[in-house]
Amino acid sequence: MTDLAIRLRGVTKRFGGHVAVRDLDLDVPRGTICGILGPNGSGKTTSIRMVLGIYVPDSGSVELLGGEPDHAHRKRVGYLPEERGMYRKMKVMDHLAFIGEIRGVRAAEGRRRAGEWLERLGLSEWGDRKVEDLSKGMQQKVQFAATVLHEPDLLILDEPFSGLDPINQDVLETIVREMNAAGVTILFSTHLMGQAERLCRRVCLISRSRKVLDGNLREIRKAEDRGDVVVEFEGDAGWLDGPGIETASPVDDGWHLTLHANTPPRTVVERALAAGVELRRFERVAPRLHEIFVRHAGADAAGDAGRPAEARLPAEASTKDSQGEAALR
């Protein structure tokens, strides 16, 4: 048994003239939490679908849990697609039991587990109601329960947090962490850099169908650390536009500064004092994923992902459509 849950080598997928994923290598070791990060339309969903064998790559190889992405291996995976569908007319409990059944969980056992999950997610009383009676947030929680009902070894979540309110995002994050602690490998895609920073041990940054960077998040941040600092001060910000400071972007109450190589951080303090502003805070920080992404892919390539941490955009429906249309042209 290999120690990789997912192994992609040189994977390329074209839809007609459009290359959705180009020459992608990706290793996801067992037991980790790995995030695929990138703006909308950068190829995250296509990559995930190839991992699951829903799409067959035009070239390259895919290994899932040490084998082909075939039926037997897919049964060990819990997959939550970005566009989440449910049988609206089915009762919540029946729906969950059915999804479990097609993944090899006997109906009675599926119902038992579904009951536990509904209780945990605060939906105990909703088991006998029709799916369509649930609010959108509740439906999303039920979908998550359906994804994990068969106790998968690998959880693949495509934009799992989009559309959830902060409280339920926390609930979901906690569950994901717990499952990971219990040995489940987790791969999820997101365009929310902040979320990834909180949750991931490994990241894979994708931009315009290509991988930009991947590896252990802590190591990446260490390697990318060029002396970023956060400053908070009272007074005119004009002094930030000076030698040694590469970029300055506003955060919360202060500014996040990336410095040119060979610029010692204390220069910032000296310049602040020279400018006569009231310095309240000075802190050395590791670079955020956002800056790392921009550094490697360029600001315009970063697109949505380049936006400060929690920015949200509606789903990329139009991009999807044009992909589908182009599919076999």
Partner 1 sequence: MNSAILAIIKREYLQRVRSRWFVAATLAGPVLFVGIAVLPILTTGSSEPGEIMVLDGTGELLSVVGPALEGAGYSVTTGDGEPSLEDWIQRIHDGEVFGVLQLDSATLANGDARLTVASSLSPIRTLALRQIVAQGTLASRLAAEAPETLALLGGGTLEVDVLDEEMEVDGADFLMAYLGAFLLYITLLFYAVAVMRSVLEEKTSRIVEIILSSVRPIELMLGKIVGVGAVGLTQLGVWAASVVILADIGLPRLVAARPELAPLAQFESFAPGADKLLLFLAFFFGGYFLYSSLYAAVGAMANSDQEAQQAQAPLVVLMVVPAVILPAVLESPESALAVWTSVVPFFAPVLMFARAVTGAASGLEVGVALMGIAATTVIVAWIGGRIYRVGILMTGKRPGVRELWRWVRAG
Q: Which residues bind partner 1 (CB under 8 A)?
A: 52, 54, 71, 74-75, 77, 79-81, 83-90, 94, 98-99, 101-104, 107, 146, 320-325, 327-328
* Minimum separation from the CB atom of position 28 to partner 1 (A): 17
Which are the contacts of 190, defined by CB distance < 8 A and separation ≥ 6?
A: 35, 36, 37, 159, 160, 161, 162, 196
| 102 vs 181, beta carbon nearer partner 1 | 102
Cα–Cα dist 97/117, whole Å: 12
- Closest CB to partner 1 among 30 and 76? 76
Least CB distance from residue 25 to partner 1, whole Å? Answer: 23
Q: CB nearer to partner 1: give 105 or 196.
A: 105
Backbone angles phi, psi at 28, to 5 degrees: -120, 105
> In the complex, what is the shortest distance from the CB of residue 102 to partner 1, in angstroms, rounded to a whole number?
4
CB closer to partner 1 out of 26 and 52: 52
Judged by CB, which is closer to partner 1: 142, or 199? Answer: 142
The answer to whether 282 and 268 have CB atoms below 8 angstroms apart is yes
Q: What b/e readout covers 138-177, taking b as 16+ CB neighbours within 10 angstroms?
A: bbbbbbbbbbbbbebbbbbbbbbbbebeeebbebbbebbe
Contact 155, 144 (CB under 8 A): no
Find the shortest distance in angstroms from Cβ 107 to partner 1. 8
> If residue 78 lies in a helix (H) or strand (E), which one and from where to where?
strand 77-80
Nearest approach, Cβ of residue 1 and partner 1 (Å): 22
